[in-house]
Structure 1
C-alpha cells in the first residue's frame, strides 16, 4: 500500500492519481489498461467544454465529462459558477448511477438540477437548456428513488 507521502502530487500538493481508470472513473491496478483520461490541467473554452462533455456523456463516460465540466466551473466567471457546477454535479450523479450507487446518484442529480436552475440566467450565453436539463435530472432522480433502473435512457442533451 502506498503511503500518503508517496502519492502522486501536483505542484500545489494536491493528490493526483496516475493510475489507469475504467469507464466509470474507478482506479485500476497499476499496469492494467484503462480508458483514455481527460487531462485535468487543460481547461477548455465554454463551447468546447460543452461539446466535449456531451461527447463523453453520449459515449458512456460521465466521470470524464465531469472532469471537463469541473474545469469550466472552477475557471469560469463567478456569475456562471452555478451553471457549470450544476452540469458537473449532473455528470457525477450519472457516474454514481453507472457505479450502482443509487443514493449518490439521486443526491447529485438533485443538487445538479438545483444549481442549473440557479444558473438559468446565464445559461443562454452558451446555448445550455438549463431548465430542460434540470427537468431531465429530476425525472431521472425520481425514477431512481422509486427503484427504477439507474442507467435507463439516453444522457441529457446539454444544449437545446
Structure 2
C-alpha cells in the first residue's frame, strides 16, 4: 500500500479524490462535483452569496468549504460566527446523507456557536432564524423523525 498523499503546491495534504454533491468521496477517475477552491479570501457578502448558492443547489458540503475559508480569514471578533455557520453546513450535510446523529450534534453545536451574535448580527446574517432552524432540525434528527433538508436562508 502506498503512503503517498495528494499534496498542494505548498506540500499540505489535500484529498484530490472527486466528490459527489454531498462531499462523499468517489473513486479516482470518476466525474465529481466541482469543488470550491480552498483558501480563498472573500469579502463577507461574497462568502454568504456563494455559500447560499451552494446550499440552494443541494451542495451543503461545498458551502461548508466556502464558510470555512471565511472563518479562517475573518477578523477575530467574527471568527466564531463563521465557524458556527460552517458547522451548520456540515450538520445539513450529515442530515442529507442520512446521518441523524451527526446532524443533531453539528446543528446543535453550530446553533450554540452563532447564538452570541444574535443581538447584533453582522452582514445581515439571520442569526436568530438560523439558530432556530438548526435546533429544530437537530431535535427532529435526535427524535428519529424525517428530516427536512431544505436549505436555510443565511441572511434575513
Q: Deviations over 1:30-73 (max 9, x none)?
A: 10000111101222211000011011111100000000000000
Match of 1:155?
Answer: 151
**In 2: Cα distance, 1:148 partner to 1:132 partner:** 21
**In 1: Cα distance, 2:116 partner to 2:51 partner:** 20
TM-score normalised by structure 2 residue count? 0.93
TM-score normalised by structure 1 residue count? 0.91
Match of 1:145?
Answer: 142
**In 1: Cα distance, 2:17 partner to 2:96 partner:** 20
Aligned residues: 156
**In 2: Cα distance, 1:136 partner to 1:100 partner:** 18
Match of 1:132?
Answer: 129
Q: How does 1:54-133 map to 2 (within 5 A)?
A: 54-121=52-119, 123=121, 125-133=122-130
Q: Deviations over 1:15-34 (max 9, x none)?
A: 20111111111111110000
The unaligned stretches of length 5 or more in structure 1 are none
Alpha-carbon RMSD across the aligned residues, in angstroms, is 1.4
The unaligned stretches of length 5 or more in structure 2 are none
